[in-house]
Structure 1
Amino acid sequence: MLPRRRALLAGLSLPALLTACGPRSAVAQRGLLPDFADLAERVLPAVVNIAVTSEQAATIPPEFRGTPLERHFRNRRERVQGAGSGFIIDASGLVVTNNHVVGQASRLTVSLQGGQEVQATLIGGDELTDLALLRIEGRTDLTALPWGSSASMRVGNWVMAAGNPFGLGGTVTTGIVSARGRDLGAGPFDDFIQTDAAINPGNSGGPLFNTAGEVIGINTAIYSPSGANAGIGFATPSDLARPVIETLRRDGQVARGWLGVQVQDVVAEDARTGRRAVLVAGVDRAGPAARSGLRAGDIVTGINGETIETSRTLVRNIAAMPPGQTVRLSVLRDRRQIELRLQVGRRPGGPA
């Protein structure tokens, strides 16, 4: 039995506290607090841990820079170990995770829930959405998870996260969708689901489930002053992730469109509208924008007839286009509206 003083500190009399917390709680009887045990048992066989081994150039100690020993360090390679999470989307052995989990891995080892370790190969990754697809070697009988619709999720809906926090192994945490459409400034495709389900280092790449056991997000980032869970985690929505994963599965790469410009948000100097638009702050001389006559100082107000008000929207729309596609930009130049046709290039740094 709880001490009476402790019960009063909670703002309840002792009988009221026992009634609220006991097995006959009205809240529990109404079914407002779900039991995730059956859900966890069903989905955990498809959640995996990913061990990553990569090599990088050795760090040169400051005291050896400029000495004969600097060459010795430059020729050394250091082996780096990392860990993350993932989930199986096809019984043939396809695994989804974050691109930052696999990095420049020279070796990928996937641990199944039963403890078995199998080698995996990277099919492909996409830096802008931070997604990657792996293939487990030698297995065709695995449990796979279904995709769900992230668009159907509402603030306040229950969710369950699963993964490998701090390298501890299969772990589930629960919470709610605490916000949607979060922009973290990580890239043009930021549209994160925010959740208070505990997300920690090592959870990256793991699934975020709805109560039906469908994957509605891929756990990607946390906000934390300490590096541990602070009640705010972020997941890439399944509606954004699914087509990227299907493209990686089909082509092994995601070819992103590119104009070769630096842009920023402005209010267009147009007395007729005064609307928000996108200023071209700089133009890459070797890029497709320069070849098509786009100049620094131009203000982009539309793309293919649709109004553009933010640089993020412009970059996102162009990045979603396949290289080689022609796009029509509405441009304000010297207070005059003109139209330019550009052929979208291939984003540098992507697959050749």
Structure 2
Amino acid sequence: MEMKNLGNLFLVSLLSGATTLGAYKVFIEKGNTGSIVTSAPNYSKAVGLVPEGYDFTAAAEKAVHSVVHVKNVSVVTYNDPWASFFYGRGETQQYEQVGTGSGVIVSEDGYIVTNNHVIKDATELEVTLNNNKSYKAKLVGTDSKMDIALLKIDANEKLPFIVFGDSEAIKVGEWVLAVGNPYNLNSTVTAGIVSAKARNLDKASIQSFIQTDAAVNPGNSGGALVNARGELVGINTMISSPTGSYAGYSFAVPSNITKKIIEDLMQFGNVQRGILGIEGGELNAEAAKKYGINQTEGVYVNKVNKNSGAQKAGIEKGDIIVKLDDKKVNSNAELSSIVNTKRPNDLVKVTVLRDGKQMNIPVKLTKKELIQYEFNGIEFEDISDSDKQRFNIKNGIKIKEVSNNDYAEYANELKGSIVLRIDNMRVTDMESVSSYLAKKEEGQKAQYEIIAKNGRIYRIIL
């Protein structure tokens, strides 16, 4: 088909366009495949949820020795626009850029957890311990979706490491400490309380954060969030601020999710993420009225994905998920906080309300690669590394198939195109896109910004 035929469908357009502390013992023996064994520390002085006199010294002392300073050296390429303007050619220059953050030692043989954004694009990584010894670090693996990275250093001594606590067991109002290196100030400890759990900052995200009011600033990213017993309950990853500095709230990746991620990276080299296979909407009075139901708590199933464990187990559109493994679920973030600790083929007990009756449905989680994501007869899939290289992009999804007869004339051109934006939302991954599209009304269309196979950029409505 001639490219002019696309004019019937396309509007041509140009495309213009941290964290803190812990202490719960992780013991990893040499030769271990990556399983993390936890054991509670035995302090001579008992420390409660609200310590008498607010004495956090035992927890802080344990934590500061396990938190490290991470230096990221990256090479930035700069094209001189003035040289291009005056001489008709661009002059490329390269210079080193240094970024800093924090990390947490999780084993005596040198495994360190930090944020993915702390080490992103690094050509060289250096870790400095609390005793001022420095080591070159190598990257073991990352999980960009949850902003976690695992590093390894080789030291000639056993290193002080942190002990993982149960992030699911922490309570709103419980005291926590943030340990890290804000503004390159090593071994900084701040205190606050847990403000909220299972906080989702992006409505299309699979993330689930612990929110605290402990002061966290640039450089704290990748540091430890610990409870008053000195147990690691989170990895500090971001702040909510109009200025870029601490202004009231900070957010941490829960330790249960972090522990699962680093075990995966050790054993498999990548993250084994199990998918339930539903797209849901959080219930409240307004949503209940919209769906014509009385239930105001839980997750309403808008869509069940093809080939998913949920579909195979018999979960249906209109079901209301109220519990997962007997844990109450009121939001997508709460659902994600449980599912993100699981792997493909793990069984979860899904408690749903259907026609006013409660049912327990065992669901075997599916590998996300096996699930078909579809909207309005357009099937999508994640982009490959070769796609990223070919189109010079970092994020996006690919149109895999077109089954909607309304677009049959353009099917060959659409197949293989890369979606960059949907309704002005930047596309990062398939899961967030599917979650976003599932919230649309039946028959409602979406606007896509795509790169066609010829490399040109279009805006289309499908």
- Taking structure 2 as the reference length, the TM-score comes to 0.53
Confirm or deny that 1:227 pairs with 2:244: yes
2:263 aligned residue: 246
Give the letter for the 2:201 counterpart. G
Deviations 1:298-321 (A, max 9, x none): 957589x98x99776888888777
2:208 aligned residue: 190
Confirm or deny that 1:136 pairs with 2:153: yes
Mean Cα deviation higher: 55-64 or 119-128: 55-64
The alpha-carbon distance between structure 1 residues 54 and 210, as it changes in their structure 2 partners (threshold 3 A), is same
The alpha-carbon distance between structure 1 residues 36 and 314, as it changes in their structure 2 partners (threshold 3 A), is closer
- Asked which structure has the greater RCO (Cα within 8 Å, sep 6+), the reply is 2
Report the alpha carbon displacement of residue 348 of structure 1 after superposing the two structures with TM.
3.5
Confirm or deny that 1:122 pairs with 2:156: no
Contact 2:199 2:333 in 1 (8 A): no
The alpha-carbon distance between structure 1 residues 351 and 121, as it changes in their structure 2 partners (threshold 3 A), is farther
Mean Cα deviation higher: 266-275 or 251-260: 266-275
SS of 2:265's partner is helix
Mean Cα deviation higher: 267-276 or 127-136: 267-276
Contact 2:178 2:224 in 1 (8 A): yes
SS of 2:168's partner is helix
CA distance in 2, matches of 1:182, 1:318: 12
Deviations 1:190-249 (A, max 9, x none): 2323233x1110001111121221111111111122211223111222122211122122
Q: Residue 176 of structure 1 is aligned with which of 181, 189, 192?
A: 192
The alpha-carbon distance between structure 1 residues 83 and 279, as it changes in their structure 2 partners (threshold 3 A), is same
The alpha-carbon distance between structure 1 residues 43 and 259, as it changes in their structure 2 partners (threshold 3 A), is closer
SS of 1:239's partner is helix
Contact 1:147 1:215 in 2 (8 A): yes
5 Å-filtered alignment, 1:78-89, equals 78-89=95-106
CA distance in 2, matches of 1:350, 1:214: 39
Report the alpha carbon displacement of residue 142 of structure 1 after superposing the two structures with TM.
0.7
SS of 1:69's partner is coil
- Taking structure 1 as the reference length, the TM-score comes to 0.67
1:348 aligned residue: 382
Q: Residue 88 of structure 2 is aligned with which of 59, 68, 76?
A: 68
CA distance in 2, matches of 1:253, 1:351: 15
2:433 aligned residue: none
CA distance in 1, matches of 2:121, 2:138: 12
CA distance in 2, matches of 1:35, 1:319: 34
Structure 2 stretches of 5 or more lacking a match? 1-49, 353-363, 370-380, 387-462
Structure with the greater alpha carbon radius of gyration: 1
Confirm or deny that 1:39 pairs with 2:59: yes
CA distance in 1, matches of 2:79, 2:249: 34
2:125 aligned residue: 108
SS of 2:138's partner is strand
The alpha-carbon distance between structure 1 residues 246 and 269, as it changes in their structure 2 partners (threshold 3 A), is same
Aligned residues: 299
Give the letter for the 2:146 counterpart. T
Report the alpha carbon displacement of residue 61 of structure 1 after superposing the two structures with TM.
3.8
Contact 1:256 1:350 in 2 (8 A): no
CA distance in 2, matches of 1:124, 1:350: 18
CA distance in 2, matches of 1:342, 1:141: 38
SS of 2:137's partner is strand
What's the Cα RMSD here?
4.5
Identity, % of aligned pairs?
Answer: 30
Contact 1:277 1:310 in 2 (8 A): no
Report the alpha carbon displacement of residue 253 of structure 1 after superposing the two structures with TM.
1.3
Confirm or deny that 1:52 pairs with 2:72: yes
Contact 2:257 2:341 in 1 (8 A): no
CA distance in 1, matches of 2:347, 2:122: 36
The alpha-carbon distance between structure 1 residues 262 and 242, as it changes in their structure 2 partners (threshold 3 A), is closer
CA distance in 2, matches of 1:179, 1:144: 27
The alpha-carbon distance between structure 1 residues 350 and 219, as it changes in their structure 2 partners (threshold 3 A), is farther
The alpha-carbon distance between structure 1 residues 288 and 344, as it changes in their structure 2 partners (threshold 3 A), is farther
Give the letter for the 2:211 counterpart. I
Give the letter for the 2:213 counterpart. T
CA distance in 2, matches of 1:164, 1:207: 10
CA distance in 2, matches of 1:125, 1:99: 6
Contact 2:275 2:366 in 1 (8 A): no
5 Å-filtered alignment, 1:259-270, equals none
Report the alpha carbon displacement of residue 104 of structure 1 after superposing the two structures with TM.
1.9
CA distance in 2, matches of 1:67, 1:217: 53
1:11 aligned residue: none
CA distance in 2, matches of 1:106, 1:216: 30
Give the letter for the 1:157 counterpart. E
CA distance in 1, matches of 2:366, 2:170: 37
The alpha-carbon distance between structure 1 residues 43 and 55, as it changes in their structure 2 partners (threshold 3 A), is same
Deviations 1:65-111 (A, max 9, x none): 797323x33xx444221100011111000111111111121111000
